[in-house]
Amino acid sequence: MIEKIACAMAASAMSAACNAGAPAASSDAAASAVADPESVDSPRARVLRERLVSMLIADGDLKDRRVADAMRRVPRHAFVPDVPLGEAYGNYPVPIGFDQTISQPAVVAIMTEALELTGHEAVLEVGTGSGYQAAILGVLSREVFTIEIVPELASRATRRLADLGYTNVHVRSGDGYRGWPERAPFDRIVVTAAPPVVPQVLMDQLKDGGVLAVPVGPSPFAQRLLRYRKRQGRVDVEDLGEVAFVPMVTSTPSPRPP
């Protein structure tokens, strides 16, 4: 099994379990909300991005045409302004400060494909980080609500997403363990940090017919990427393979021992 680095790693074997035939629906509705990234882009960045996308397709980590188009379109380098252009387009995670990383492109592809987006969904992301995954989701869905526990990362991502014109992406600084009750329920939920078990609050904020993708387990070892589907009150789960994300932390102090 070949391992990929996510926020640390994902096993590429899991991509076989991802939906290879996700519908290539039109993204026109969502696309109209997004400004042309032309102003921050350059021919060299576009070449590097195309090369990266081709490599992800060749590796079998990127199969859905709409996800590939979104990854061609979103200027990843704008989300990691402090690293050289070549590093922004390497297939590995890059530090974004506060001991956090922007996820490896292969992992972004795998997580995004796991959500089976059609362009009409309200999506909750836990773990905004740089805002890159949120931007990809913004291109592929109707509206994105993303929560980041590190206030500085949340404010940087807010500014960056606004500057790039992702008006359908909303960032909140807070603890993702609480979800976003005012905007719930969601069609899709994606967690980009690993909780030890699936947070029940997030499951409760998932619509019937919805999908929740979450890396679960002690970090960074023995985590599995799980995809839950809620159907008529029942919840089914699929194991999409091994991953290694940074831990999902909480702002709630642990109860003191008596």
Binding residues vs ligand SAH (CB under 6 A): 7, 100-103, 126-127, 129-130, 132-133, 147-150, 153, 175-177, 192-193, 246, 248-250
Nearer to ligand SAH, 28 or 106 (CB): 106
Name the nearest CA neighbour of 148 among 120, 104, 178.
178
Q: Which of 12, 15, 27, 103 is catalytic?
A: 103
Q: CB of residue 245 vs ligand SAH: minimum separation in angstroms? A: 7
Residue recorded with tokens 């009150």: 233
Nearer to ligand SAH, 151 or 209 (CB): 151
Q: Encoding tokens for residue 127?
A: 């773990």
* Burial class for 28, CB neighbours closer than 10 Å (0-12, 13-18, 19+): exposed
Q: CB of residue 183 vs ligand SAH: minimum separation in angstroms? A: 15
Packed helices 132-140 and 105-114: angle between N→C axes, nearest 10 degrees: 40
Alpha helices in the chain (DSSP H): 14-17, 28-31, 43-59, 65-73, 85-88, 105-114, 132-140, 151-163, 200-204
Nearer to ligand SAH, 23 or 78 (CB): 78
Amino acid at 185: P
Nearer to ligand SAH, 84 or 209 (CB): 84
Q: Exposed e or buried b for every residue in 51-70, given b needs 16+ CB within 10 A?
A: ebbebbeeeebbbbebbbbb
Q: Encoding tokens for residue 28?
A: 């026109």
Q: CB of residue 236 vs ligand SAH: minimum separation in angstroms? A: 25
Nearer to ligand SAH, 177 or 228 (CB): 177
Q: Contact at 8 Å (CB) between 105 and 71?
A: yes
Instruction: Tell me if residue 251 is catalytic.
Output: no
Q: CB of residue 204 vs ligand SAH: minimum separation in angstroms? A: 16
Q: CB of residue 255 vs ligand SAH: minimum separation in angstroms? A: 17
Give catalytic residue positions.
103
